[in-house]
């Protein structure tokens, strides 16, 4: 992954989302040790404090837990926490934006639902 330094999304949040993606994709599993702030800083050429901020965000959300002196590890509930957060924040936000744009374009409900169903079919390879 390459961080987007031109993005409005802060680097530490991009780091946190990258770790979340690693968990969602099964690269990091329950009780796996997560990269240290120094390893992340080296991987992404960022300040270790920025990497630590991303790790701490996930710790505060209970996605990660601390083992004193050993680092941060993936929590038992990490997957459920990430799925719920992304569904309620990111996905809901995208859908709200789509609904508002449809209203501006005078797309009726049936047409919008049909467009969504078509996208679902396309992404499933149907």
> What residue segments make up the domains of the chain, in order of their start?
11-76, 79-124
Please, what CATH class does the domain formed by 11-76 belong to? mainly alpha
Would you tell me the crossing angle of helices 11-24 and 48-60 to the nearest 10 degrees? 60
Q: Given this model, what pLDDT does residue 125 score?
A: 77
Within the chain, residue ranges assigned H as helices are: 11-24, 37-44, 48-60, 78-85, 92-104, 109-124
pLDDT above 80 for 1:
no
Spell out the residues 6+ positions from residue 85 whose beta carbon is closer than 8 angstroms to its own: 61
Task: Convert the pLDDT of each residue in 40-79 to its tens digit.
Answer: 999 999 999 999 999 999 999 999 999 999 999 999 999 9
In terms of pTM, does the model score above 0.85?
A: no
């Amino acid at each position: 992954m390459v961080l987007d330094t031109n993005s409005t999304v802060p680097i530490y949040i991009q780091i946190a989302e990258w770790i979340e993606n690693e968990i969602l994709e099964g690269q990091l599993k329950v009780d796996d040790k997560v990269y240290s702030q120094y390893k992340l800083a080296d991987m992404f050429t960022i300040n270790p404090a920025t990497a630590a901020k991303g790790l701490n965000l996930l710790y505060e959300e209970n996605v990660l837990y601390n083992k004193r002196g050993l680092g941060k590890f993936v929590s038992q509930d990490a997957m459920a926490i990430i799925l719920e957060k992304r569904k309620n924040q990111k996905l809901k936000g995208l859908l709200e934006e789509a609904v508002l744009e449809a209203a501006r374009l005078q797309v009726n409900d049936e047409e919008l639902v049909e467009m969504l169903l078509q996208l679902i079919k396309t992404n499933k390879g149907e």
